[in-house]
Amino acid sequence: MKRIFVLLLLTTVSVHSWAQRPQSQLSFADRIFFGGNIALQIGTYTDIEISPIVGYYITPRWSAGVGATYRYINLKYWYMRADGSWQNFETNIWGGRLFTNYVLINNVNEWIPLGMNFRIFAHCEYEFLRFEGTFFNNDGADYVWQQSVLGGGGLRFPMGRRSSMNMSLLWYLYTKPRNTHDSGPIIRLGFNF
């Protein structure tokens, strides 16, 4: 059912996007954008993520691209050993993503006069991550590849002609063998330029 939903979402977005072709022709260089996310949580559970992206505006509202992901996770006091000491666990997670997003509402201020110009977008991505098998006790496998489909949306706050700050909320629609965020939504804060 989730696969059908994702397929319908992507088909609807692509058909609508081709119907909304840009009026002016932009050069290839003008359609490319860069950006990414940085996440930081420090304490008993430390999670540091760096995710650069490069994308292409297919139309002024529809974009697609690729990205890389690096996460460092350190769990202090993960579990107690038989001798009474605590086991510390740390791992490095590497991977990448393919993504697409579509601006559903280009200027919220035209719909609801709040005095702020921001956009609402839908987002879908395929993510693949490689991590140590002991991270989830996967039968002693040295390394495990996780494949996931994430979907959701967010707000885009323009900061200039080509730059913006993005806040997004994503959920796992499909993951195999198991996701690295346990459960609940993923909150991202990122920038495009």
- Backbone dihedral region for residue 134 (phi beyond 0: left; psi -120 to 50: alpha; all else: beta): alpha
| pLDDT at 155 (0 to 100) | 96
The more confidently predicted of residues 86 and 29 is 29
The more confidently predicted of residues 22 and 27 is 27
| pLDDT at 143 (0 to 100) | 85
Domains of the chain: 2-16+26-192 (2.40.160.20)
The more confidently predicted of residues 90 and 157 is 157
Which tokens sit at 116? 């702020």
The model's pTM is: 0.78
Mean pLDDT of 168-188: 79
Phi and psi torsions of 11, nearest 5°: -65, -45
| pLDDT at 136 (0 to 100) | 62
Instruction: Work out whether the CA dihedral 162, 165, 169, 170 comes out positive or negative.
Output: positive
| pLDDT at 82 (0 to 100) | 73
For 107-166, write each residue's pLDDT tens digit. 998 998 888 889 999 999 999 999 887 766 655 668 888 899 999 999 999 998 889 999
The more confidently predicted of residues 172 and 63 is 63
What band does 74 get if pLDDT is binned at 50, 70 and 90? confident
Other CB atoms within 10 Å distance of the CB of residue 113: 8
How would you classify the pairing of strands 32-41 and 62-80? unpaired
